[in-house]
Amino acid sequence: MQNDTSFRKEQLKARLFDDITKHIETIGYVPDDIDSLIGSTNLDVKPWRHRDLHQHEGNKANEGIITRDKDTLAASVNRLYDKAFFDPTGMLLRLVGDSDFRNLGYWTAETTSIHQAGEQLQDVLLARIPVKTGRILDVACGMGASTRRLLAHYPADQVWAINISEKQIESTREKAPGCHAQVMNAVDLRFEDNFFSAILCIEAACHFETRRDFFAEAYRVLQQGGHLVLSDVLFTSAHRHTQFPPFSSAINHVESVEAYAEQLREAGFHHVDVQDASDQIWRPHFLYIVNLAHQHFYDGRMSAVELTDVLWHYYSQNAVTGPCILASAQK
Ligand SMILES: C[S@@+](CC[C@H](N)C(=O)[O-])C[C@H]1O[C@@H](n2cnc3c(N)ncnc32)[C@H](O)[C@@H]1O
């Protein structure tokens, strides 16, 4: 009997270690201050993802600020998103279901799904464009959900969409036929000056290196009187940027909502309005996902290790996530 129990314990241990080893590789983010989060681990090496970041570095600027060249950053962003966005067995798609929005969404007391939250986030931004005529650009269009939704307001031939990912652009072409979808970096817009009457950018500028470059480009390609509307996520500290390779470097850190508005004004924009909507964006999204993951666990659709993985990911993301903002500005 004793032997039988020992054998089963060994089996269980092997099974748990196997699972943990497999899933630990999918955890997106390991903070440097892991000790203070989980108790001392006596880690004497940096987490592998941090080392990985340094192996891919480009030029190292002064004052310890690390920047990467655009292609290195784009490749890093694409590795993360193309895998997460298209893998039907991956954790993201298991949680967001059939929604093709890839953002945190905008939540009210009545919101019941990620897809609805995605639609609402786009709608609160579009409400900041008073007259919906002329050409519009969907920057960092993701899978094409927002581009498709623009067709309720704009004829297809007036809608442009860009992304750094070829795969996401292919998806956008399918979802929003007739629109102009192109692979392009948001900080290098290949459009003439004064080309668009509006620009929409949902939850992506935190990746751009830098936001300032994007704001300058957005200003250039907008017509006089044109509107830039965007949602964005700030980090809790400059240091956090350097810990997570797919995000741009500390150079892109913005201290506050006021500092964000100031960057827009410095780019030349007026009628700048920046709101902290964290209570409608990150916090309800976080609670929704944590709840859903537990439901999956109780329904037998998610193992204990997978649930731990999701919770780890979301709790550590919570330590990184600062104000979630809604912004609009006019040229
Ligand atoms: C969180 S997703 C948001 C996607 C989409 N806007 C949505 O709401 O469903 C961030 C997106 O930014 C894109 N992205 C990141 N850096 C970019 C850049 N420099 N230029 C264009 N797109 C970029 C990614 O490929 C990804 O699609």
Residues 55-78 pLDDT 10s? 333 333 334 445 567 888 888 788
Q: What is the CATH number of domain 1-331?
A: 3.40.50.150
Facing residues of 149 across strands? Answer: none
- 160 CB under 6 A from ligand 1? no
Are β-strands 159-163 and 196-202 bridged in parallel, bridged antiparallel, or unpaired? unpaired
Structure tokens at 141: 């269009």
Q: Is 77 close to ligand 1, i.e. is its CB under 6 Å away?
A: yes
Confidence label for 215 from pLDDT (cuts 50, 70 and 90): very high
Contacts of 222 (CB under 8 A, 6+ apart): 194, 195, 196, 197, 198, 199, 228, 331
Ligand 1 lined by 231 (C-beta under 6 Å): no
The answer, as to whether pTM is greater than 0.95, is no
With 50 as the cut, is the pLDDT of residue 200 above it?
A: yes
The residue whose CA has the least distance to atom 15 of ligand 1 is: 207
> Pick from 238, 232, 237: which is nearest to 207 by CA?
232
**104-111 average pLDDT score:** 97
Cα separations in angstroms, 248 against 86, 235, 277, 321: 22, 11, 22, 14
Name which residue leads in pLDDT, 33 or 84: 84
* Residues forming a β-bridge with 231: 202, 326
Of 145, 26, 19, 20, the C-alpha closest to 80 is 26
Provide the residue type at 82 as one letter: D
Q: How far apart are CA 176 and CA 198, in angstroms?
A: 18
Q: Dig out the tokens for 186 from the structure.
A: 């948001």
Q: Is 208 in the pocket of ligand 1 (CB under 6 A)?
A: yes
**pLDDT at residue 99 greater than cutoff 70:** yes
Contacts 24+ apart (CB under 8 A), 111-116: 111/284, 114/288
Q: What is the pLDDT of residue 285?
A: 97
Pocket mutation for ligand 1, best pick of 165, 184, 190, 324 (most atoms within 8 Å of C-beta): 165
pLDDT in tens, 40-60: 555 443 333 333 333 333 333
Compute the distance from residue 105 Cα to the ligand 1 centre, in Å: 14
Ligand 1, pocket-test mutation among 77, 93, 206, 281, most atoms within 8 A of CB? 77
Q: Which atom of ligand 1 is nearest to the CA of 121?
A: 8
Q: What is the pLDDT of residue 45?
A: 38
User: What number does the ligand 1 atom closest to the CA of 207 have?
Assistant: 16
Supply the mean pLDDT for the chain: 85
Q: Ligand 1 centre and the CA of 159: distance in Å?
A: 17
Partnered with residue 180 across adjacent β-strands are: 160
Please work out whether the CB of residue 207 comes within 6 Å of at least one atom of ligand 1: yes
Query: Which of ligand 1's atoms lies nearest the C-alpha of 145?
Result: 9
List alpha helices for the chain, DSSP H: 2-24, 34-38, 48-55, 70-86, 91-96, 114-126, 145-150, 166-175, 211-221, 238-243, 257-266, 282-298, 304-320
Segment 139-168 shows an average pLDDT of 97
- 288 CA to centre of ligand 1 in angstroms: 22
pLDDT at 284 over 50: yes
Closest CA to 232 of 163, 281, 272, 169: 281
For the chain, the structural domain boundaries read 1-331
| pLDDT band with cut points at 50, 70 and 90 for residue 209 | confident
pLDDT 10s digits, 242-256: 766 667 678 889 999
Query: What b/e sequence results for 188-208 when a residue is b if at least 16 CB atoms lie within 10 Å of its CB, and e otherwise?
Result: ebebeeebbbbbbbbbbbbbb
The Cα–Cα gap between 22 and 30 comes to 16
In whole angstroms, what is the distance from residue 121 CA to residue 107 CA?
8
Question: How many angstroms separate the alpha carbon of residue 143 from the centre of ligand 1?
Answer: 9
How many whole angstroms from 19 Cα to the centroid of ligand 1?
31
The pLDDT assigned to 6 comes to: 83
- Beta-sheet pairing, 270-276 with 196-202: unpaired
Q: Between 286 and 310, whose confidence is greater?
A: 286
Q: Which of residues 16 and 174 earns the better pLDDT score?
A: 174
